[in-house]
A and B are shown apart, each in its own frame.
Chain A
Amino acid sequence: MTINQKLLEIKNLTIHYITDEGTVHAVENMSIEIGKGETLGLVGETGAGKTTTALGIMQLVPNPPGKIIGGEIIYEGENLLGKSPAELRKIRGNNISMIFQDPMTSLNPVMTVGEQVAEVIKLHQKVSAAVAMIKAQDMLETVGIPEERHKEYPHQFSGGMRQRVVIAIALACNPNLLIADEPTTALDVTIQAQVLNLMKSLKEEFQTSMIMITHDLGIVAEICDKVAIMYAGNVVEYTDKVALFTNPKHPYTIGLFNSIPNIEDDVEKLKPIQGLMPDPTNLPSGCPFHPRCPKAINVCSKKLPKPIEIAKDHFVSCILYSDR
């Protein structure tokens, strides 16, 4: 992993949602880093805290009920958590931008797609409306939307084309970091292939770093350099892609791999993870995964395991590996 060229470093980030039903420990003590030009996959199931992490980096966690309890988010050497709202507005969209999951709801239905891309450019760069529009059209061309469609409205586009518009908006100011929250989940598989291909080539062209939030390990294999596996707010395994796929260590990671029907080989029966995701307001004591873990021992319910570096840059938060 890149150590000298860190773009973003998250240290001990903790985000809670304080609700009437109790406190939701959405993200607990998370530490990850992303180097320049690197793509990090953030993988987990519903409620793992992936999207909250992304919103935390963007400082968009709805408050109340959400609250960043502690930690640091260091972007190019500066802690974003101390920034004023005005400073953050300059960073968002300009340096860090985000692609949301659902292209149907993340666009403005009463603005043409050209205007929507131009809006970002006007906000962040000191250019006239006319120049912004020209730049917007260039950007739309880059993502594969032909010129004659720039004056159309979102409802005139298909899902895949809308997601291209969202990508164009996110990339309009050439950000250093792009956070993509399940960008292809709402798309069909042939359209997903188109969009992933586009994102890969744009990443190469602009050298953008990326955080790819997904539940699909296939997408991780396709596009990521390293991966953080999350479970109930905790990063349980954090390593580069090759190590994750060839040598997964955390029982949850292994369980995830066994749950996916394999497209290459024939498996008679899947080996699912037993039980259910825990109630986020009432997480189990100790390791949050222990009630579902096939390898749990007594101590798992008492102590939250710390990340252990079992090989270079391969961190696993599991008691099984603590005695080495």
Chain B
Amino acid sequence: MKKKLIEVKNLKKYFETKKGLLHAVDDVNFYIKAGETLGLVGESGCGKSTTGRVILRLLEPTNGEILFEGQNILRYNKQQMREMRKKMQIVFQDPFASLNPRMSISQIISEPLEINKVYTTKVEMDKRVKELMDTVGLAERLVNTYPHELDGGRRQRVGIARALALNPDFIVQDEPVSALDVSIQAQILNLMDQLQKELSLTYLFISHDLSVIKHVSDRIAVMYLGKIVELSDYKTMFKDPLHPYTQALLSAIPAPQIGVQKERIILEGDVPSPINPPEGCRFYGRCRHRQYICKQQTPELKDMGKERYVACHFVGNLK
């Protein structure tokens, strides 16, 4: 097995709200191996973006450990963390909101280089900016344009170039293609794939789109209400999902094919509130297999072997 680049242990992030404690991320455990893509999938409010942000310490976790190459980065002070951040970057969902409208493309891409005083001369810096623009497929003539002059696909390329500026090892991709049209989405997905291979990057790829997740991921973690319910390699996940939520989620995707009749599991009701969630399985209220024990006891994420984990009391005993 390749070495683990990132490992998350018992990670918790609670937010104080007027109504009570919001359990955004609740006791999450996983690791990401060097050079792989871990897909994190789930519906709105399940805690996937919060997980991504907590790993980068853009949000401070309530509890738990975050290991980067074996070191717990939560023990790092500000200075150490600043060094650390060069190695871990993020690409945000909305390329319209994540770029400063008053900065030109070259200013946006060079900002991380400036902050970290990577280059001493402007010539070197400009050279690096051009190199980065070339890497992500932005024409050199765009160097002095502003974000509003670019379309969504190009803006997202700027966001990627900024993330690559400091030669990171690890990038959190937070819904990077959700705001893009399908033809542009495919261009960006191909670019990310190519960059990963060329620069040996490790990705945490967050998305609600299952077909995108399946395409990019080596392994996939499915989240529901702050907890990982199932984690396995992408092939096993799609061929033989074990958790009732994963089963329903996968069956709900409308496939762009005809003649494929699949049995659809329609879940009843909505995702319950993550504020003061009750004991027991989070999926209890919507599960077709629920039994008494599911309400009493929170199922552990069980190791099923072959890097496969499922959190369900009745795993293996479901039809």
| Interface residues of A, Cβ cutoff 8 Å to B | 45-46, 158-161, 188-194, 196-197, 215-222, 241-242, 245-246, 255-264, 266-267, 269-273, 276-277
Contacts and interface: CB of A to CB of B under 8 A. Distances in A.
B34 interface: no
Interface stretch (B5-13, B65-73, B112-120, B257-265): B257-265
B108 to A, nearest CB: 20
Given A158-B270, A193-B252, A219-B254, A269 B193 contact: yes
Interface of B: 43-44, 151, 153-154, 181-187, 189-190, 193, 208, 210-212, 214-216, 235, 238, 248-249, 251-258, 260, 264, 266-267, 270-271
Give me the 10 closest cross-chain CB pairs, A-B, nearest first. Answer: A218-B254, A272-B186, A261-B215, A217-B256, A259-B186, A188-B43, A193-B252, A45-B181, A273-B183, A270-B186
A99 to B, nearest CB: 17
A262 B213 CA distance: 11
Contacts of A267: 215
Contacts of B215: 261-262, 267, 270
A255 B183 contact: yes
Given A45-B181, A190-B248, A191-B270, A245 B257 contact: yes
A220 B214 CA distance: 21
A220 B253 CA distance: 12
Interface centre among B185, B210, B252, B253 (most CB of A within 10 A): B252
Contacts of B210: 189, 263
Contacts of A191: 43, 270
Dominant secondary structure at the A interface: helix
Contacts of A46: 181
7 contacts: A45-B181, A188-B44, A197-B266, A264-B255, A270-B189, A272-B184, A276-B184
Given A263-B214, A270-B190, A221 B255 contact: yes
Contacts of A277: 151, 181
Contacts, number: 117
A231 to B, nearest CB: 10
Contact of A216 (B43, B254, B257): B254
Given A161-B270, A194-B267, A263-B211, A272 B190 contact: yes
A194 B268 CA distance: 8
A218 B258 CA distance: 9
A221 B185 CA distance: 21
Contact of A262 (B193, B211, B252, B258): B211
A190 B252 contact: yes
Nearest to A261: B215
Contacts of B267: 190, 193-194
B208 A188 contact: yes
A192 B44 CA distance: 13
A160 B211 contact: no
A263 B181 contact: no
B190 A196 contact: no
A271 B190 CA distance: 8
Contacts of B216: 261
A267 B193 CA distance: 12
A128 to B, nearest CB: 34
Contacts of B238: 263
Nearest to B46: A188
B270 A257 contact: no
A261 B235 CA distance: 14
Contact of B254 (A221, A245, A257): A221
Given A160-B270, A194-B267, A218 B186 contact: no
Nearest to A194: B266
Nearest to A219: B254
Contacts of A276: 151, 153-154, 184
B208 A260 contact: no
A189 B208 contact: yes
Contacts of B211: 260-263
Contacts of A258: 186
A283 to B, nearest CB: 15
A257 to B, nearest CB: 7
Contacts of A220: 256
Contact of A215 (B181, B187, B254): B181
B254 A196 contact: yes
A312 B15 CA distance: 60
A195 to B, nearest CB: 10
Given A190-B43, A263-B211, A276-B153, A222 B254 contact: yes
Contacts of B153: 276
Contacts of A270: 186, 189-190, 215
Contacts of A260: 182, 186, 211, 256
B258 A193 contact: no
A32 B153 CA distance: 31
Nearest to A258: B186
B255 to A, nearest CB: 5
A281 to B, nearest CB: 14
Contacts of B181: 45-46, 215, 277
A191 B286 CA distance: 12
Contact of B182 (A197, A215, A222, A262): A215
Contacts of A215: 181-182
Contacts of A264: 255, 257, 260
B10 to A, nearest CB: 27
Contacts of A189: 43, 208, 210, 249, 252-253
Nearest to B191: A272
